[in-house]
């Protein structure tokens, strides 16, 4: 048993954030896949929210449980020797934090709660077929967010500035789920596509590319590093 265990659901953006950040940290970790909507999910007893991601670790001796992606990112930052996914520059730190909040609230409310609800939650929870109107609404919102990210990727090496960090991993976690479902028209966003290719080539990203959703193959380019 590893000194660090991650409980995650592979298509939950928060869980993907945790996997990418753990991967970047080169922590030795094992994983437990959970389906939080099913009775008996181990997170019922572990996290008051009932949701992934959760990390349990004994690496510092005493057991430590980290509930929610924010606590996992914070812990990885605390235990790193020096700046890790928050660069030293105060301007870049502020921008990473702004963008993390943007994805936590705006992107989640306007895109995930609509588009991922139709494409992912409905099949998982057997809530019937997607609704055309909701799909259209979610896709329109996604376009606005992608255009904003394209503008950032055009001006900067990484989303928040010169260094890869929390904002890139959180954004990639969200976009990669939508990309599995074929929702990202990469050709329209060339700078963002280059940014995503750089991320996709990193070792931390590999495990995500082998995830498979029940009864649905990924978009053809999903696992392609040169798409």
If the CB atoms of residues 66 and 179 are measured against its own copies, the closer one turns out to be 66
Report the SS3 class of residue 34. coil
If the CB atoms of residues 113 and 197 are measured against its own copies, the closer one turns out to be 113
If the CB atoms of residues 68 and 121 are measured against its own copies, the closer one turns out to be 68
If the CB atoms of residues 114 and 179 are measured against its own copies, the closer one turns out to be 114
If the CB atoms of residues 110 and 137 are measured against its own copies, the closer one turns out to be 110
142 close to 192: Cβ distance less than 8 angstroms:
no
Q: Residue 108 CB, nearest distance to its own copies (Å)? A: 8
Q: Residue 104 CB, nearest distance to its own copies (Å)? A: 6
Q: Residue 90 CB, nearest distance to its own copies (Å)? A: 6
Q: Residue 71 CB, nearest distance to its own copies (Å)? A: 4
Q: Residue 67 CB, nearest distance to its own copies (Å)? A: 4
Distance CA 3, CA 128 (A): 41
**Orientation of helix 166-180 relative to helix 190-200, angle to 10°:** 100
Beta-ladder partners of 57: 4, 64
Which chain residues interact with its own copies by CB under 8 A? 48-49, 60, 62, 64-71, 74-75, 78, 86, 90-91, 93-94, 97-98, 100-102, 104-106, 108, 148
163 DSSP assignment: S
If the CB atoms of residues 89 and 137 are measured against its own copies, the closer one turns out to be 89
Distance CA 89, CA 95 (A): 10
Q: Residue 64 CB, nearest distance to its own copies (Å)? A: 6
Angle at alpha carbon of residue 217, lines to 132 and 199, rounded to 5°: 95
**Orientation of helix 90-102 relative to helix 166-180, angle to 10°:** 30
Which residue, among 223, 195, 199, 198, has the nearest Cα to 209 in the 3D structure? 223
**Phi and psi for 181 in degrees, rounded to 5?**
-85, 10
183 close to 117: Cβ distance less than 8 angstroms:
no
């Amino acid at each position: 048993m590893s000194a660090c265990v991650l409980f995650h659901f592979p298509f939950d953006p928060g869980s993907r954030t945790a996997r990418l950040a753990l991967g970047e940290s080169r922590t030795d970790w094992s994983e437990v896949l959970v389906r939080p909507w099913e009775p008996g999910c181990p997170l019922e007893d572990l996290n008051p929210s009932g949701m992934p991601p959760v990390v349990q670790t004994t690496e510092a001796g005493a057991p430590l449980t980290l509930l929610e992606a924010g606590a996992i990112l914070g812990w990885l930052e605390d235990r790193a020797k020096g700046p890790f996914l928050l660069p030293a520059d105060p301007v870049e730190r502020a921008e990473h934090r702004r963008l993390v909040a943007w994805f936590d609230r705006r992107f989640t409310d306007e895109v995930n709660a609509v588009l991922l609800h139709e494409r992912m939650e409905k099949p998982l929870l057997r809530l019937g077929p997607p609704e055309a109107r909701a799909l259209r609404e979610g896709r329109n919102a996604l376009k606005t967010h992608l255009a904003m990210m394209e503008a950032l990727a055009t001006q900067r090496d990484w989303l928040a500035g010169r260094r890869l960090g929390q904002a890139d991993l959180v954004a990639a976690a969200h976009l990669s789920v939508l990309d599995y479902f074929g929702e990202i028209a990469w050709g329209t966003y060339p700078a963002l596509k280059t940014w995503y290719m750089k991320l996709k080539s990193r070792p931390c990203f590999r495990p995500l590319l082998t995830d498979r959703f029940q009864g649905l193959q990924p978009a053809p380019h999903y696992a392609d590093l040169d798409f």
